[in-house]
Chain A
Amino acid sequence: NAGVTQTPKFRVLKTGQSMTLLCAQDMNHEYMYWYRQDPGMGLRLIHYSVGEGTTAKGEVPDGYNVSRLKKQNFLLGLESAAPSQTSVYFCVSSYGPGSGNTIYFGEGSWLTVV
Chain B
Amino acid sequence: GNSVTQMEGPVTLSEEAFLTINCTYTATGYPSLFWYVQYPGEGLQLLLKATKADDKGSNKGFEATYRKETTSFHLEKGSVQVSDSAVYFCALSDRVTSYDKVIFGPGTSLSVIP
Residues of A within 8 A of B (CB): 4, 31, 33, 40-43, 45, 48, 50, 56, 90, 92, 94, 96-108
Residues of B within 8 A of A56 (CB): 99
Are B44 and A105 in touch, CB under 8 angstroms?
A: yes
User: Among B32, B50, B100, B104, which residue has its beta carbon within 8 angstroms of that of A43?
Assistant: B104
Question: What size tier do the contact residues of chain B reach?
Answer: 20 to 34
Are A103 and B99 in touch, CB under 8 angstroms?
A: no
Interchain CA distance A104-B99 in the complex, whole Å: 15
User: Among A33, A102, A105, which residue has its beta carbon within 8 angstroms of that of B43?
Assistant: A105
Are B98 and A50 in touch, CB under 8 angstroms?
A: yes
Are B106 and A98 in touch, CB under 8 angstroms?
A: no
Nearest B residue (CB) for A49: B99
Residues of B within 8 A of A40 (CB): 106
Are B99 and A98 in touch, CB under 8 angstroms?
A: no
Residues of B within 8 A of A98 (CB): 95, 100
Min CB distance B31 to A, Å, is 9
Q: Mark B90-102, 1 if CB is under 8 A from A, else 0.
A: 0001010011111
Residues of A within 8 A of B107 (CB): 42
Given contacts A4-B43, A50-B98, A90-B43, 11 further A-B contacts (CB under 8 A): A31-B100, A41-B106, A43-B104, A92-B102, A97-B99, A99-B95, A101-B100, A102-B49, A103-B93, A103-B102, A105-B36
